[in-house]
Structure 1
């Protein structure tokens, strides 16, 4: 809160009170200095000794609207810690007690009107700063509530969006209370917050997605099995992998999304790796054929590798969900999987496509003898795919050109 002398503070407080209690009067006649002086039990002469112009006074009022003394993060943390201890870490009674503690301030008409006026008259920077402060308080409260657990937010929630949602919820209750106070109770607010926590917060340690919480209420949707279940499964897998990532994607979710019985899916695709291979095998075969064609028509080794890099980058962009999953699966080393699994490294051996070209280049002196063809092929392919994985904002052409320049032409300045 800004440090003003007594008379200046009286005028500013009177201005805020007048805006809150007489909005129609202000719309009709404006914020007049004589009204403010009267409300502050002072004279207009004193008013203009404190403020050179009415514009200076309005600036001070607007500044004060967005500069109200607020609760601190330390206050929130202490209040929640002590409340949780008092209720033996039982979440619902603790949240209800916390809401009851601040309910009067949440639904106070003057405070509500002041906040609304701040959003109408305040500058964008001050308003955004206040939102950021409130978001930090919401995160402080979350961390204090779950300090003794291994809680995590279910995707797609992040710390920022969770805090924003909490404050949006509270703003909604505050606005409703201003015109319909009987509809807003502390129990209603606490129940809404608990419902949000229950859906957004995962304490199981299984890193769930928000969609996992919707399955029980959606119920089974009885639809006929698609005519081409294999294609439906691959399309559903593309969606699930893009949404959840390789490890969090489940075969049962893919089956449900594809409207294919779970048992039927597992007969067609015993593992996620089988789906990966089915989705990418034709694309990898086409990549292999394009390299064979380049060899057949007599292109030089460097040009063939450049073409290979571009086609790989285009494949990574066009099939991002499956290619991202492929990178994870390869890194996980599927050679050690139990019987019934497969090695995706063998089935989708993209580096092996360019290996013979590197061998030919080494044999004829075009390419340096700095490693075996297999190692160089793996290094080139992995570098390109990692570049595409981490530079999604760039086009396939840009990523392929960067890796080609780096690995084929090097960092050395040409002579």
Structure 2
């Protein structure tokens, strides 16, 4: 491949230096060909050979094509990203020893803040964000630079977390923590460049300690970031209820069910506790316990309308004398549809079921909803007519079919519900058929 002449690189570097060092005066003179040639110390004739002036017939002029090339190569020169300064420093500070992280975090953060303030890369990105957001090459170069920095930083953070024996509270990952910290340090560096008194020494270090202290969970309880706010939230909600009217919601049962659905979606069924639901619903913990003794009861209440609908339609199929080999796939398709449309509740149901297979229940429960029981009468009917095998009890076969449909519906989310039910029926329903 033909190499670009060194004069081309010199012109581009000259344009870059003019943009970054001229200050407001560039608004007076602009980025002219003459100024670029003078800065590069190369003649305008050489410039014209590299970027010929072909402004006719809709073609860009040489000046325009130079600016286009310049914007496409403007970013990506900062040592903070290209030399992985931050990643190397993080590993240097934390991996050799286990000293107090607070004493290490603050000087590390202040070092990074100083590097960012002195790195021309920040000014380049600010310039592109202001003047070239619509230039594809410029935006791509910035994104590539950020992606590189994020990847290297995230790798260093992962090693550090492992050395601490910790993990990040959901939804944070090493990658998005790297994005947050980069945005924070660049934002504070920009403020410092314009208003240094507003960003005193140590402020960024304190902010990093606060952030890391919130997102890192060394107890590995698989918590959500909202749990950090739990004591504050509980107190604020308690004070609010006492100060406003001291009353529970007009329909506390529905408020609890709605709150549980949101908490299950955010934390998962395992990690949601009754106090989370009570706080979210604005219901005192004692009142919640009076309505629902356990989390499992709240789950069943959330599933109850779905269960009753499936039960009613299964009964209708039986009343109109559909044959068992028709009733079973119809029910399984309805079940797959229900699971797809109500993923939060069915995800929670599967978590509860899997846990109870290997553990004694952690909480006393009322008899939970039995979804396989909705299919059992159809299996029994098929067994009595010789359509289905009798090698297993009807409820066991119904459980096998029900659980497989739910697992397929919840794990293979790209499949539509007829495909989900059909795949289970093809393998399992044919397998239990007595007429093969």
Superposition deviation, residue 279 in structure 1: 3.1
Cα RMSD, aligned residues only = 3.2
Per the alignment, residue 249 of structure 1 pairs with 272
Per the alignment, residue 14 of structure 2 pairs with 14
Q: What is the distance in 1 between the residues matched to 2:279 and 2:352?
A: 23
- 2:366 paired with 1:351: no
How many residue pairs get aligned? The number is: 406
Q: What is the distance in 2 between the residues matched to 1:340 and 1:9?
A: 70
TM-score normalised by L of structure 2:
0.81
Per the alignment, residue 385 of structure 2 pairs with 364
CA-to-aligned-CA distance 1:335-372 (integer Å, 9 cap, x gap)? 9636962375xx32211221231232233233356654
Superposition deviation, residue 247 in structure 1: 0.9
TM-score normalised by L of structure 1:
0.84
In structure 2, the CA distance between the partners of 1:51 and 1:292, relative to structure 1 (3 Å rule), is: closer
Question: What is the 5 A alignment of 1:327-406?
Answer: 327-333=350-356, 337=360, 341-342=364-365, 347-368=368-389, 371-393=392-414, 395-406=416-427
- 2:283 paired with 1:260: yes
Q: What is the distance in 2 between the residues matched to 1:54 and 1:279?
A: 66
Q: What is the distance in 2 between the residues matched to 1:256 and 1:88?
A: 37
Q: What is the distance in 2 between the residues matched to 1:335 and 1:13?
A: 66
Per the alignment, residue 301 of structure 1 pairs with 324
In structure 2, the CA distance between the partners of 1:186 and 1:103, relative to structure 1 (3 Å rule), is: farther
Greater shift in the superposed pair: 393-402 or 267-276: 393-402
Q: What is the distance in 1 between the residues matched to 2:71 and 2:44?
A: 20
Per the alignment, residue 220 of structure 1 pairs with 236
CA-to-aligned-CA distance 1:92-142 (integer Å, 9 cap, x gap)? 331222233333331137443223335525433322211211211331342
Q: Which of 333, 338, 357 is matched with 1:315 structurally? A: 338
Per the alignment, residue 230 of structure 1 pairs with 253
Superposition deviation, residue 84 in structure 1: 3.5
Paired residues of 1:177 and 1:184 also in contact (CA < 8 A): yes
Q: What is the distance in 1 between the residues matched to 2:192 and 2:289?
A: 53
Question: What is the 5 A alignment of 1:82-121?
Answer: 82-84=92-94, 89-108=99-118, 110-119=120-129, 120=132
Q: What is the distance in 2 between the residues matched to 1:282 and 1:355?
A: 19
SS state at 1:146 partner: helix
- 2:289 paired with 1:274: no
Per the alignment, residue 413 of structure 1 pairs with none
Q: Which of 131, 142, 151 is matched with 1:136 structurally? A: 151
CA-to-aligned-CA distance 1:7-40 (integer Å, 9 cap, x gap)? 5544332211211234655555542221112223
Mark the runs of 5 or more structure 2 residues left unpaired by the alignment.
53-61, 242-246, 432-436
Q: What is the distance in 1 between the residues matched to 2:74 and 2:26?
A: 16
Paired residues of 2:73 and 2:138 also in contact (CA < 8 A): no
Paired residues of 2:73 and 2:141 also in contact (CA < 8 A): no
Per the alignment, residue 71 of structure 2 pairs with 62
Mark the runs of 5 or more structure 1 residues left unpaired by the alignment.
411-415
Superposition deviation, residue 395 in structure 1: 5.0
Question: What is the 5 A alignment of 1:41-60?
Answer: 41-48=41-48, 53-54=62-63, 57-60=66-69
